Amino acid sequence: MPTAPRVRQGMTLGLVFGAVLFAGAASGAWGEPIGSSRAPLSSDGVRGADLSGADLSPQEARQLVGASGDRWAAYLSPQQYRDFTGGRYPGVGLTVERSADGPTEVAEVLPGSPAARAGIAVGDRLVSVDGVPAAQLPVTELVSRLRGGPAGSEVVVGVQDGDGPVRELGLTRAELAAREVETDRPSPGVARIAVHAFTKGVAGQVRAAAAGARGVVLDLRGNSGGLVEEAVGVASAFLDGGPVASYQARGEHRELTATPGGDTAVPLVVLVDGGTMSAAELLAGALQDRSRAVLVGERTFGKGTVQQPSTLADGSVLELTVGRYQTPAGRSPDGTGVQPDVPAPAGDDTGTENLALRVLDGLSPAPEPSGAP
């Protein structure tokens, strides 16, 4: 089975639930427009403001992100944002994960990537990026730094294998294609679909992969989020309309709803873990609340905030938190995560996957008896 990496309906589908795309798959509360002046901006001045069209230099935008106090804020160049939403990116081929209070560790290394050629391995600790300690940076800023230049540019990372010395490695970014959806057939008629992040087209890929299956295991482990309309699109593949989530933005209550016509009959199990974040938690919580799927695995990360992108005058994008979302039952996973229906031991991927298949068997209808009564 493909291994999950670790690490916008509403408001005109203009929301990002903070995908954490780390150079190989990994990644905003803003009121009146600032306009195009270059007047200095304080963190107090941007709370509740819409910065679309603001004429800010990259340095000013990054300073604004740093001063906002918003741990999920991010600045993306025009190319970075296109890559981020479109499934291609300049990067080094690392997937990383970070527990709530733990170090940042390498969870996957893309074969043939710059990281792989430099000898970086799964389990190594990411200590620094361009000399800045990784522990001091929110995950979105790590993304910005790891993917902060075009293919051919260099980023210096500090990595550590266990208690060994920290190695400083200069990695040359390459153009990489994100593998956001991977499928296999663990048993006849069963589709196991791993979704690593929600970029453009993911919902259609999931729908196609699930077509004709007698059972589906939807693997959201390590999925750090992404485009909300794609997460809602995946929900729509298994729901016949109805609520997916809701959130408050600028004092208004907004609803995210599934498109009618999804397959509500195929048995469905969803795999989750501590790397399941943001839009992936939204999806898992919706399917759980709607009694459409059984969740198997570990408690999810607990990021229940909504980021809205503001496109600046030069085409770059600021993502800043505009609110928190709730599942159809009114739960907020922010800080608490989504609890699985069937817990599984941490660190035993094979055992968890086998458990998911047993649960799926229990959900499947009994075969019709053969022969005459």
Q: Write the pLDDT tens digit of every residue in 11-48.
A: 222 344 443 332 222 322 222 222 222 333 333 334 44
Average pLDDT over residues 238-245: 98
Note the pLDDT of residue 136. 85
> What is d(CA 115, CA 196) in angstroms, rounded to the nearest whole number?
19
- In this structure, of 93-107, 127-141, 198-212, 235-249, the range with the lowest mean pLDDT score is 93-107
**End-to-end Cα separation, the chain, in angstroms:** 41
The helix or strand, by DSSP H or E, that contains position 140, with its residue range, turns out to be helix 139-146
Q: Please, what is the Cα angle at 356 between 354 and 361, to 5 degrees?
A: 95
Catalytic residue (one of 278, 316, 332, 364): 278
DSSP 57: -
> What is d(CA 75, CA 202) in angstroms, rounded to the nearest whole number?
24
CA distances from 159 to 27, 110, 114, 273, 281 (A): 19, 16, 14, 24, 30
Residues 65 and 75 sit within 8 Å (Cβ to Cβ): yes
Instruction: Give the bridge partners for 269, in sequence order.
Output: 217, 294
Note the pLDDT of residue 339. 97
Note the pLDDT of residue 143. 66
Note the pLDDT of residue 367. 57
Average pLDDT along the chain: 81
Q: CATH 2.30.42.10 in the chain: give the residue spans.
A: 11-177
Confidence band for 185, pLDDT divided at 50, 70 and 90: very high
Fold category of 181-304+324-363 in CATH: 2-enoyl-CoA Hydratase; Chain A, domain 1 (3.90.226)
200 is catalytic: no
Torsion angle, CA of 9/313/24/279, rounded to 10 degrees?
-20
Confidence band for 69, pLDDT divided at 50, 70 and 90: confident
pLDDT at 105 over 70: yes
The helix or strand, by DSSP H or E, that contains position 219, with its residue range, turns out to be strand 215-219
List CB contacts of 84: < 8 A, sequence separation 6 or more: 19, 21, 27, 76, 199
Confidence band for 103, pLDDT divided at 50, 70 and 90: confident
CA 292 to chain centre: 21
Note the pLDDT of residue 87. 63
List CB contacts of 296: < 8 A, sequence separation 6 or more: 269, 270, 271, 272, 340, 341, 342, 344, 352, 355, 356, 359
pLDDT at 270 over 90: yes
Closest to 283 in 3D by CA, of 298, 267, 271:
271
pLDDT at 127 over 90: yes
Note the pLDDT of residue 145. 79
pLDDT at 4 over 60: no
Note the pLDDT of residue 67. 87
Catalytic residue (one of 27, 77, 224, 303): 303
- DSSP letters of 95-132? EEEE-SSS-EEEEEE-TTSHHHHTT--TT-EEEEETTE
Average pLDDT over residues 194-201: 90
> What is d(CA 245, CA 238) in angstroms, rounded to the nearest whole number?
15
Superfamily of domain 11-177: PDZ domain (2.30.42.10)
pLDDT in tens, 308-338: 888 999 999 988 888 889 999 999 999 999 9
Note the pLDDT of residue 371. 53
Average pLDDT over residues 211-239: 94
> What is d(CA 223, CA 197) in angstroms, rounded to the nearest whole number?
5
pLDDT at 109 over 80: yes
> What is d(CA 94, CA 91) in angstroms, rounded to the nearest whole number?
8
> What is d(CA 146, CA 310) in angstroms, rounded to the nearest whole number?
22
Note the pLDDT of residue 230. 94
Confidence band for 139, pLDDT divided at 50, 70 and 90: low
> What is d(CA 30, CA 313) in angstroms, rounded to the nearest whole number?
16
Confidence band for 179, pLDDT divided at 50, 70 and 90: confident
Q: CATH 3.90.226.10 in the chain: give the residue spans.
A: 181-304+324-363
303 is catalytic: yes
